[in-house]
Amino acid sequence: MNYINFYNNLIKLTTNKYLYKSHINQDTFNDRLIIFHFHFAFFLKNFKNQKNEKKLQEIYDFSFRQLELSIREIGYGDQSINKKMKDYINVFHAIVSDIHFWNDLDIDKKKVILSKYLVNFINIDELLVYFDNYSEDLSKKTLNSYLKCVINQ
C-alpha cells in the first residue's frame, strides 16, 4: 500500500505557519523535522496496537524513506546521509519515548519535553495546546480513516 497521502498530510501539518509564529529566527530544516517527528510520534502512539502493528511498520519505513529522499534533495552526499538518518531516527525515538505517557503528564512536564527539542521556539505554551489538540483529534479517528483523509489547513 502506498502511504504518500499520509506522508503529505504530515508535511502539511509540519508546514503549518501557525506553528512557527513563536519561532526565534527563520525556521530551518531541522526545526521542521522536529515538528514532523512530533506529529509522527503522536500518530504512532495513538494507533499503536497489535492489529495495526504491520501497517504502522510499513508507514514508519515509508516515512523514513521519504525523509531520506528529502535529505538527498537538500544536497547531502551519500556518506553523510547515513549519519544524518541515524541522528534523525535517534531523535525520533527519543521523542516517542518522551511522549509515551503524554496524557498522564502535567503541563509543566509537557513543556519540558517540548522545550527539550524545540529550542528555537519561545512560546511553548501555544505548541503545547496545539499538540494536545492534535493528540485528541487523532484519538477520535480510526487508522484507516486517517490514512485516507486529506488534511485541509
Per-residue pLDDT of the chain (153 residues; tens, 9 = 90+): 578 889 999 999 999 888 888 777 777 888 899 999 999 999 999 999 988 899 999 999 999 999 998 888 888 777 788 888 899 999 999 999 999 999 999 999 999 999 999 988 888 999 999 999 999 999 998 888 888 776 655
SS3 23: strand
SS3 119: coil
CA dist., res. 74 & res. 127, Å (int): 27
Residue 142 exposure: Cα atoms within 13 Å on the Cβ side? 4
CA dist., res. 42 & res. 13, Å (int): 12
Give the phi and the psi of residue 23 in degrees, each rounded to 5.
-80, 140
Give the phi and the psi of residue 89 in degrees, each rounded to 5.
-65, -40
Say which residue the cell 487508522 belongs to: 143
Q: Amino acid letter at 41?
A: A
